[in-house]
Structure 1
Amino acid sequence: MSVNTRRGAPMTALVLDRPGTPGTLRLTDVPVPEPGVGQVRVRVAACGLNPIDYQVAAGGHPKWSWPHILGVDVAGTVDAVGEGVNDVRPGQRVVFHGDLRDNGGFAEYTLADATVLTTVPDTLAMASAAALPCAGITAYQAVVQRLRVTADDTVLITGGAGGVGGFAVQLAAAAGARVITTTSSGNADHVRELGADEVIDYRSQDVPARVRALTDGRGVDAVVDTVSARSATANLSLLVHGGGLASVAGRPDLTAVAPFATAPSVHEIALGAAYSHGDERARARLSTTLADLLTLVVDGRLDPMVARTVTLDEVPSALADLSDRHVRGKLVQTFS
């Protein structure tokens, strides 16, 4: 166990005093947290912003104590290790997707389960690493691990300019699939650069009709839906026989398709459940999947899509921008 030289010291954090909007977050000093059994303390270098931050802030969580610190995607340096941690050392560069029930990374220091840590290569910027966990792991689970997209497939990805959508477009394109994605007209060139073959403006075009036109009435082999349960339900009808749909923002209503007809498979992606309903093996998969993503980034095969970095005091306004659902790529908070 490392010697703790910060016991009782204060740190700067962005806190939420009660359920509310991003505008209710405030900067203050709180005690530096102490690592417990199986935990490490991380000095935060960067923290990715995600829709889950403002979504869960609006209603709070029954497991929270107040004030609460948001931020589930953290990259930084191990500062101290708790009892029972033998394979992590102070000074190690790490990144992880944290448990939203615990205090997060919008602070100078935070705690993490040692099982979920992934080493950040020395050649990779911490902001790039922090952009990956939530959106990147979600997309990787959907495209690679659940739908198992190949070069023979045609894939529909909704919301291709967002975090999950942007990573999903890249991963599907890397697999050699034909990629159709939805976005606003202003983001069309951007998603094409990520690897989309066809772009549908969801504001001005009928998405299902356009997909059928682009596929000569066949439909698609796979769908990654990042929009809503309603959108996922509508897109079930676009699947060919034996096709699969990965839902990120709400599960579809299976009664929308006839039983024993197209026989779709539906995959619900829920990273947070690796903590709330999973075991140590499920949490360890967060680490191994993130390691695969880091390798892709270092090799130049995946763009971390960091659109903008912000300071800790700029996080509330950045989360408000994100809640408007028109942010391209990833926003990341960094400490200079």
Structure 2
Amino acid sequence: MKALLLRGDSHWKDMKVENVEPPKPGRGEVLIEVYAAGLNPVDYKTASNGHPDWSYPHILGLDSAGIIRELGEGVTDWAIGDPVVYHGDLTRDGAFAEFNITTAHTISRIPDGISFENAAALPTAGYTAFQALHRKLPFDQIDTLLIHAGAGGVGGFGIQLAKAAGKTVISTASSHNHDHVLHLGADFVIDYKNEDVKAKVMNITEGRGVDAVVDTVSSQNATDSLDYLVHMGHLVYIAGAPDFSKVKPFTQVISYHEIALGAIHKADVQSQEDLSRMGDSMLAMVRHGKLETMLSEIVDLEGVPEALERLAGRHVSGKIVAKLK
């Protein structure tokens, strides 16, 4: 099969399409013929330093959509020919290849009317946002959220999910992305480069602050975000923990929520099955016009390294997907 091969740490810009042997599914696994694979910052970030569980050459790519071509032993709930999408295990070879292996209990069926490209735009960013909002936060107790980096994948999906639940959403973005973020449903957008974020948040909320912050930027940004929270507010952090010492014990009573979507692959099977449930929920929303996949660009397999370079330079709005079929 053809695959985009990573031949060493930090060599992701030099990846080339080469021929390798296709994988075989083990017990509880399925072989997927990959039709589309989503690109994410985690691809180049992890490839820059490598991973202790990898051997080279390695194949990147966590988000895959395609057709089941072979069933491993014990798989009874799926059939050859089923169209599916899934979030893959970062420690294993990934989706930038014609065929890929994944566990049968983590895949979601792609409904009629949703393309493989749109489905592949969902998993990493979409499931992360879904986990942040619907698995970590007491959503019924939250009215107003600040979701950082609304033009990014996690931020963009987060805005849509929050608005679908009837919440008031404030977001941050560069000025040239404000129209895009407002289109996704944000009620207010703050130009974090040229405006005082805290002052704007307090002005919008009439001095109260927000019930929850979803930070996708950095540990420092998460720390700064503590200033925007109400008493008993919630901070969800995805790109690094805040400085917990900033808030003295028994004062604001902040709840902290760490998100690490990929860690679920090392958990028990029951926990891993939530990947399938999150996928089913988001695909249903897409099918009924309640969620945009934010697919902005389609490249071929050879074009993945250059597209990852643009992701690394933060010159991308929306989701990039590689089309293989």
- For Structure 1 versus Structure 2, the TM-score category normalised by the shorter chain is over 0.9
Match of 2:280 in 1: 291
2-structure distance, mates of 1:19, 1:333: 22
Q: Deviation digits for residues 252-273 of structure 1, max 9, x if unmatched?
A: 1211112111111111111111
Q: Percent identity?
A: 49
CA shift for structure 1 position 141: 1.0
The equivalent position to 2:322 in structure 1, one of 325, 329, 333, is 333
Contact persistence 1:151–1:175 (CA under 8 A):
no
Aligned residue-pair number: 325
2-structure distance, mates of 1:326, 1:249: 19
TM-score, L = length of structure 1: 0.94
2-structure distance, mates of 1:253, 1:286: 30
Contact persistence 1:150–1:177 (CA under 8 A):
no
Matched, 1:18 2:8: yes
Match of 1:83 in 2: 73
Match of 1:239 in 2: 229
2-structure distance, mates of 1:150, 1:165: 20
What is the letter of the counterpart of residue 24 of structure 2? E
Contact persistence 1:137–1:290 (CA under 8 A):
yes
Contact persistence 1:149–1:172 (CA under 8 A):
no
What is the letter of the counterpart of residue 123 of structure 1? G
Contact persistence 1:152–1:176 (CA under 8 A):
no
Residues 1-336 of structure 1 correspond to what in structure 2 (within 5 A)? 11-150=1-140, 153-276=143-266, 278-336=267-325
2-structure distance, mates of 1:82, 1:158: 41
What is the letter of the counterpart of residue 9 of structure 2? P
Poorly superposed stretches of 4+, deviation over 3 Å: 148-152
1-structure distance, mates of 2:287, 2:322: 21
Q: Secondary structure at the match of 1:212?
A: helix
CA shift in 2, pair 1:220/1:28, >3 Å:
same
2-structure distance, mates of 1:189, 1:305: 14
Q: Secondary structure at the match of 1:308?
A: strand
CA shift for structure 1 position 177: 1.3
Q: Secondary structure at the match of 1:79?
A: strand
2-structure distance, mates of 1:112, 1:172: 30
CA shift for structure 1 position 21: 4.5
CA shift in 2, pair 1:255/1:151, >3 Å:
closer
2-structure distance, mates of 1:258, 1:125: 49
Match of 1:5 in 2: none
1-structure distance, mates of 2:132, 2:71: 33
CA shift for structure 1 position 151: 8.8
Give the CA RMSD over aligned residues: 1.2
Q: Deviation digits for residues 50-84 of structure 1, max 9, x if unmatched?
A: 11100000011111111000000000000101111
Contact persistence 1:154–1:222 (CA under 8 A):
yes
Higher alpha-carbon deviation: 178-187 or 199-208:
199-208
Q: Secondary structure at the match of 1:209?
A: helix
Q: Secondary structure at the match of 1:31?
A: coil
CA shift in 2, pair 1:150/1:190, >3 Å:
farther
CA shift for structure 1 position 150: 4.8
1-structure distance, mates of 2:251, 2:318: 37
Q: Deviation digits for residues 181-240 of structure 1, max 9, x if unmatched?
A: 000000000000100111111111121222112212111001110101110111012111
1-structure distance, mates of 2:319, 2:140: 26
Q: Deviation digits for residues 285-316 of structure 1, max 9, x if unmatched?
A: 11111110001110100001001011000000
Contact persistence 2:142–2:212 (CA under 8 A):
no
